[in-house]
Chains A and B, each alone.
Chain A
Amino acid sequence: MPNITVVMTNGQRRQVQAAARGSLMQALRDAAIDDLLAVCGGQRSCATCHVHFDSVEWELLPEMSDEENDLLDGSSHRTSTSRLSCQIPFDDRLAGAVVAIAPLD
C-alpha cells in the first residue's frame, strides 16, 4: 500500500498509509483526519469528503461520474484538481500523491 502526504485545512502535513483495502476517504478517516467529515460514508450523496490533488499521476485516477461532477459543482472551493475522496481507490496509483483536504463550504 502506498504512502501519501495529506495537507490538513490548517496547513499541517501528515503521512498516511492505508491499513486495509478501500477508498482514499476511508484511509483518511481511518487515519483520524477529522477535518474530512465524509458524512454520507461513501454513498456519493454529499460532497463532504472533497479533496484537492496537489500532486498525483492525474491520468491514473478513475474517471469522474456525472454525480461526482454535479456534487463538486456545489462547492465554492472547487478547483481543477478537485475530487471526492470516496470515489478514489487507495492503491498503488496514489503512491507519492499529495492530497489537500478542501475547506468546508
Chain B
Amino acid sequence: MRLGYRTLIWAAGGKPRRLSCPGGELAGVHAIRTRADAAALRDELSAAGQVAIVGGGYIGLETAAVLAAMGKAVTVIEAQDRVMARVAGEPVSRFYQSEHQSRGVAIRLGAAVRSLDGAAGRVTAIQLADGSEVAADVAIAAVGMEAADGPVLRAGAEGGRGIEVDSFCRTTLPDIFAIGDCVLQANPFAQGRMVRVESVQNAADQAINVAKTLTGGPEPYRPLPWFWSNHYDLRLQTLGISGGHDGCLVRGEPQSRRFTAVYLHGDTVSALDCVNSTKDFVQGRGLIGKAVPRSARDAITDPTVPLRDVISACAA
C-alpha cells in the first residue's frame, strides 16, 4: 500500500535492544516495552524461581522490585560500577542498590555478560566475563532501546541512534516531523546536547509542539523534562536531565527513605531526583536553571526549608 502525504509525522518509537551475545535468542529471554511483552513474561513466571535481569537502569530495577515482591530469586547484572548510572547520581544509585539488596535482590556490578546457556532451546544460566555463572529460569534484557529511525534515515534525514530534529521537531527532510523516543534533539535542559528523551512526558509534549506548528502557532520546544519510577514503596520523581552534572547536593537523609538529590552543572541546578518527596518535586520546578549562590547551599540541603523559599534566594 502507498499513502501520500502533505505532512508526515514520524512517531515510531523504538524496540528494546536485544542481547547480542551467544544465546541471546533462547526461549525464556524477555524484554519489556509493550503490554504484550509484559504478558509474555507473566505467563512464564509461575514456573520460574530464578530470574536474571541484565541492566540496572529504571526498567531493570522496577522489574526487580516487582519480581522480588513475588518471591522470585532475582539477580541484576549491571555493566557499570553502579546501578542507574546513566540516569542518576552516585548517592541515588547507592541508595537504590541498598534498598534492592535489603529485599534480597542480588546485584552484580561491573559485570559483563559473555553468553547465555540453554537446554532444549531454553535459557538456563548467564555466563559472565569473570567466569562466574548466574542461574536463570527466565532472563530479562533491560539494556535500553534502539530508535525506530531506519526508513527516515534511509530517505536521507540526518541522524544516527535517533532522527535529528530542530526545536520545532522538524527533521532535515521537508515536511517530515519526528517526535518521541526515536528523536534526537538539542535539549536546553542538557546544556544543548543532542539527546533522546525517552519518556511519556516528552512524547506527549512533542506531539503538542508539532500540533501547534501545524495549526499556525509554532513555538520552540522547551518543556521541563520530568519522569517517575516506582520501586517497592519508593516513589522517585525527577525533574530536568541529570546527565552531565558535575555536582550533587543531597537534601535530607537517604536512610530516612525521603530525600532529594539536587544536581548542579557549575553553579546552576540542572535536575532533581525526589525520593518520597512530592513537595520537592512540585516546588523544585522553579529551581531548575537557577544559579545557586554558595550562601543558599545550606538552605538547599536543609529539608525543613521549603524549596520555594530557596528559590527566592537564588538568582534567575
Contacts and interface: CB of A to CB of B under 8 A. Distances in A.
Contact of B226 (A37, A44, A46, A70): A46
B95 interface: no
Interface string B266-308: 0000000000001101110100000000000000000000000
A43 B282 contact: no
**Chain A contact residues: over half helix, strand or loop, or mixed?**
loop
Interface of A: 37, 39-41, 43-47, 66-67, 70-71, 73-74
User: Which secondary structure dominates where chain B touches chain A?
Assistant: helix
Given A46-B201, A71-B282, A74-B282, 17 more contacts: A37-B204, A39-B200, A40-B200, A40-B228, A41-B200, A43-B228, A43-B230, A44-B235, A45-B235, A45-B237, A46-B226, A46-B228, A67-B278, A70-B279, A70-B281, A70-B282, A71-B278
A43 B228 CA distance: 9
Given A37-B204, A39-B200, A39-B201, A67 B235 contact: yes
Contacts of A66: 278
Nearest to B308: A73
Interface string B154-190: 0000000000000000000000000000000000000
A74 B237 CA distance: 14
Nearest to B276: A67
Contact of A74 (B201, B204, B230, B285): B285
Contacts of B282: 47, 70-71, 73-74
Contacts of B204: 37, 39
A70 B306 CA distance: 12
25 contacts: A37-B204, A39-B200, A39-B201, A39-B204, A40-B200, A40-B228, A41-B200, A45-B230, A45-B237, A46-B226, A46-B228, A47-B282, A66-B278, A67-B235, A67-B278, A70-B278, A70-B279, A70-B281, A71-B278, A71-B281, A73-B282, A74-B281, A74-B282, A74-B283, A74-B285
B129 to A, nearest CB: 37
A52 to B, nearest CB: 19
Interface string B115-156: 000000000000000000000000000000000000000000
A50 B235 CA distance: 20
Contacts of A45: 228, 230, 235, 237
A37 B282 CA distance: 18
